[in-house]
Amino acid sequence: MTNLETHQQKTDTLDRLLALSPGMPTYGIRHQRAKVVEATQASEDLLLGAPVEGLSVTDRLLVALLACALTPSGALKNEYANRLSALGVSDQTLQNVASAELDQLNDPRLKQILIFTAALITDPIKADKEALLALKASGLTTPQITALSQLVAFVSYQVRVYAGLHALNLFHSQGVRP
């Protein structure tokens, strides 16, 4: 094991959620594409951790939570719900967002952001020009809309990398009878 692998094992969200560690077949296969592993985690860190002017980490984690709830992706939904809880978001808000009961939300700007998120996850063709203009009308700037679109699209990617690796790991840990 190299130092780089040790570092990634500690900080990589998908390795952590899948309980992948050096020596496991799925870990070894995944890390053969080291640039993909790095860019995936760096994207998550930028989209869900780093500051984005005008979009709080909490609002962005709520977007990720709704995206995972609608996909659905149980493991990543739980991950983002846990991060929101740690930031002090109430169980009621988590429940409302995770069940897509957006009418319960008081913040009209956040509500518009989550309506957009739901459309882009469940039926991307419906996230159209009108949906973008509705975001503009609710006060988002173009750079904020860029970050939001990248976030929803990234989570769509992340849940599928997770799902594929999860199946690959099941295959290697259990095998399948012919």
Partner 1 sequence: MSEVIRIKGFTNETLDWKAWLDVVNISEASAEQIAILEESHPKAKESDYYLFLAHQPEILRQRSAAFNAIMYAPGGMPRAERELSTAVVSRINGCVYCASVHAQRFEQLAKRNDSIKQVFTDPHTAGISEREKQIIQFSILLTEKPDAVTASDIQALKNAGLDDAEILDLIHSVAIFAWANRLMLNLGEPVFPSA
11, 74, 75, 176 from 168: Cα distances, Å:
21, 17, 16, 11
Q: Is 17 in the site for partner 1 (CB under 8 A)?
A: no
Please, are residues 135 and 116 in contact by the beta-carbon 8 Å criterion?
Answer: yes
Q: Is 19 in the site for partner 1 (CB under 8 A)?
A: no
Residue 126-165 contact track with partner 1, rule CB under 8 A, x = bound: -xxx-xxx--x-----xx-xxx-xx-xxx-xxxxxxxxxx
* Residue from 6, 19, 21, 25 in contact with partner 1 (CB under 8 A): 25
Q: Is 78 in the site for partner 1 (CB under 8 A)?
A: no
Q: Distance (Å, rounded) from C-alpha 174 to C-alpha 147?
A: 40
Amino acid letter, 60 = R
Query: At what angle are helices 57-70 and 91-98 packed, to 10 degrees?
Result: 40
Q: Is 98 in the site for partner 1 (CB under 8 A)?
A: no
Which of residues 4 and 39 has its CB atom nearest to partner 1 in the complex?
39
> In this structure, how many other beta carbons lie within 10 angstroms of the beta carbon of residue 57?
16
Q: Which residues contribute to the site for partner 1 (CB under 8 A)?
A: 25, 29-30, 32-33, 35-36, 38-40, 42-43, 46-47, 50, 52, 71-74, 120, 124-125, 127-129, 131-133, 136, 142-143, 145-147, 149-150, 152-154, 156-168, 170-171, 174-176
